[in-house]
Chain A
Amino acid sequence: MTAVLAVPGIESNFFTLTLFLQNLTNALANGAVYALMALTVVMIYKTTGHLNFAQGEMAMFGTFIVYVLTIEQDLNVWLAILLVVIASMIVGAAFERVLIQPLESRSVLAPVILTLGLFFMLNGGAATIWGTQPHTPIPAPFPGHLDDKVDIITTRLPHFFITYKAFGVWATVAVLVVLLNLMLKRTKLGLAYRAVAANAESSLIVGIPVKRMLMLGWALAAGIGSIAGAIIAQYRNVLDFNFMAAVLLFGFAAACVGGFDSIKGAVVGGLLVGLVETFTPALFTFVGSELSLVMVLLVILIVLYFRPQGLFGSKRVERV
């Protein structure tokens, strides 16, 4: 028996058990998607201190190539994703080396503006090559039919179930985080990357190839981004030239909440942003469901106001 609450401004059926659980799993699955994008933000920010505004468009472009390989060329989805991840890592490293590095010494703004230029080129490029209409069918890394789900509570209405797609997103985040941690904590490459993140100048003195580590950051971000793009396209069931713009903002928000230089923060931040996005319209009658972007903007503002370094980020200290 569910208690009927009649508090003004509160959605009365919010506390219906199965509906609540359904919202919760949706929120956590969306949040995991944002965590993926937040990971890409963190990988670049840790070493270079930049935000790459073209990150979402790079992922979008990669997803279109996965689309071409699987739907048009009939390749296995995971093989296609693997190929695209390798290709995008090379392209990401090349972007850093050719476009960003020459601008490093000029000003803080130049690399950021350049990523905006990249945004425009990739966005317009995809619109030119693949048109502005949404594409179907969307490549499906996970079983995505309507009945591909685990029923948990079917005795009440609405039913509570978890789709295989949601499990897929969670599994991807878990695997990526474990792999990233292994790489960063157990390999020499990871040690060098962390050294550059901690102090680039000292790393240079002890012989670490700093510039290559910056390229590595971009390569990792591009690779993770391509996986994220393919998964988000299926999870959201949309593939067009604009589908990543809003997702990138959620990713930035997640990184901002968790701390721009923390992998753990990216995951926790992603899940928190997912919860806010789903629960504020579900709980309050005065928040329309189309306002998730506004709620996330509010979250960024609140975090920046009270804890600018994020939940797990390290405070930037500056020597004068």
Chain B
Amino acid sequence: MRSLPLVIERRSTAHRSLQLLGVLVAFAFYLYVVGVVENFSAIRWAVAVTLAVAILGLNIVTGYSGQISIGHSAFFGIGAYTTMILIADHGWPFLLTLPVAGALGFVVGAVIGVPALRIRGLYLSLITLGLALAFPAIVKSDNFFGINFSSLTGGSNGKVISSGDVTVKSGFHWNPPSWAPDGWTTNDWVFTTVFAIAIVLFALSSNLVRSRVGRGLVAMRDNEIGAAVSGVYPAQYKVLAFATSAFVTAIGGGCFALASTTIGPDTFGLQRSIEFIAGLVIGGVATILGPAIGGGLGEWLPYWAYEVDWPLLGKLEGPQSGILYGLILVVIIFFMPGGIVYGLRQLRSKFIVFVPRLPVPQDISAVGAAARAAAAGEPRPDSIDPVSPPPDDATASVQ
């Protein structure tokens, strides 16, 4: 019996099967929500998934480029209102509204990001704080530089998508399609939709942070001057990261409109923004799973806050649940910096350790010979056999 921890090489069969196991767990979670939990909870899980997507967006800017945005509630709101208005007033199909929502988020993110990110330091957090506070006011405004936003957004009353409402032009139901299994409710179908969208966005974002752009962002976060010297142009990267982050969060908002069916200006206030940050930090900054945990927390923590009779505090309703968020956040910062995902990783490293696969050692003289041969204008050999001895003429030319 080998002693723990088990050492597994990355990209080996064992590593791949563990990754497959992770995918199966995600699928099992999906089947559990669709098949087992009651109808009412399925929609709560759907909302949790949309929050996870929003936090995934925030993660790009806070986790990977090291800037704090307190304004992601506004991008979330922009996405939600775009989807809501296009569906309720213009009869668009849901999936077509998402690109529009994302694009609007991207543009607003870029406009906000350009002045904020030219300067280093905490200015982005300052401007985004303003954005979070201004967004509900703009939504309610009937005279925003002459634009009557409240007639578009429903003002303080908010907006609803359902066929029963008189204010809605076209009836809208995200009903399960004909090929769906028997017994699927609308809620199951909504969950399936947002879960699929979330999987795609999580996969894309996971690839993004491992790409050249992602590495550039991380380099800039860890040492901006060093990164700039190495050819990562900070302003361009930061604005791009911020706009992309707003794009993802706005799509999350669009899904949120579908899942919650009712939105109002105060759903997207400062409180929501700080919830995103708290969710991200508690889940795990700069990880892919962290936002998923944060999203679950964002939907279920207020619920538990009200269901449980807390010692000293009693039942916590609405904004009162912030006290729990704050407590968990402070405890996590001090005792599990990096969040739950890092905590789990440390726990896992007691049992399983992943090591990178080492490159296969090559016979250096053979590589050298090929290079010399190429330099001498000779045709390059098709493949270099690392084991076979170098050709005689190559060794001769050295002597």
Contact = CB atoms under 8 A, between A and B. Distances in A.
Interface of A: 50-51, 53, 99, 102-103, 106-110, 112-114, 116-125, 127-128, 132, 241-242, 245-246, 249, 252-253, 256, 286-288, 290-291, 293-294, 296-297, 300-301, 304-305, 308, 316, 320
B134 interface: yes
Interface in B306-353: 313-314, 316, 318-327, 329-330, 333-334, 337
B339 to A, nearest CB: 11
Given A102-B334, A108-B66, A124-B319, 17 more contacts: A110-B337, A114-B333, A117-B326, A119-B274, A119-B326, A120-B274, A123-B319, A249-B129, A249-B130, A252-B126, A256-B126, A286-B146, A290-B140, A291-B137, A294-B144, A304-B118, A308-B119
A112 B144 contact: no
A114 B277 CA distance: 11
Interface string B276-312: 0110010000000000000000000000000000000
Nearest to A120: B326
A113 B337 CA distance: 12
B85 interface: no
A50 B225 CA distance: 21
Contacts of A125: 323
A293 B265 CA distance: 15
B133 A114 contact: no
B125 interface: yes
Contact of B145 (A109, A241, A287, A296): A287
A168 B225 CA distance: 48
B9 interface: no
A106 B133 contact: no
Contacts of A114: 329-330, 333
A32 to B, nearest CB: 21
Contact of B115 (A128, A242, A304): A304
Q: Interface of chain B, helix or strand or loop or mixed?
A: helix
Interface of B: 62, 66, 68, 70, 112, 115-116, 118-119, 121-123, 125-127, 129-131, 133-134, 137-138, 140-146, 225, 270, 274, 277-278, 281, 313-314, 316, 318-327, 329-330, 333-334, 337
Contacts of B130: 249, 252-253, 293, 296-297, 300
B316 A304 contact: no
A132 B271 CA distance: 14
List the 9 closest pairs (A to B, CB-CB), nearest first. A124-B322, A121-B326, A124-B323, A288-B143, A120-B326, A117-B329, A297-B130, A286-B146, A120-B322
Contacts of B329: 113-114, 116-117, 120
Contacts of B318: 127, 132
A74 to B, nearest CB: 27
Q: By DSSP majority rule, is chain A's interface helix, strand, loop, or mixed? A: helix
Nearest to A111: B333
Contact of B137 (A112, A120, A293, A300): A293
A316 B123 CA distance: 13
A118 to B, nearest CB: 7
A304 B116 contact: yes
A241 B319 contact: yes
A249 B322 CA distance: 20
Nearest to B226: A320
19 contacts: A109-B68, A112-B125, A119-B326, A120-B274, A123-B326, A124-B320, A124-B324, A128-B314, A241-B319, A245-B270, A290-B141, A291-B144, A293-B130, A294-B144, A296-B130, A301-B112, A304-B118, A304-B127, A308-B119
Contacts of B66: 107-109
Given A116-B277, A124-B325, A288-B144, A301 B137 contact: no
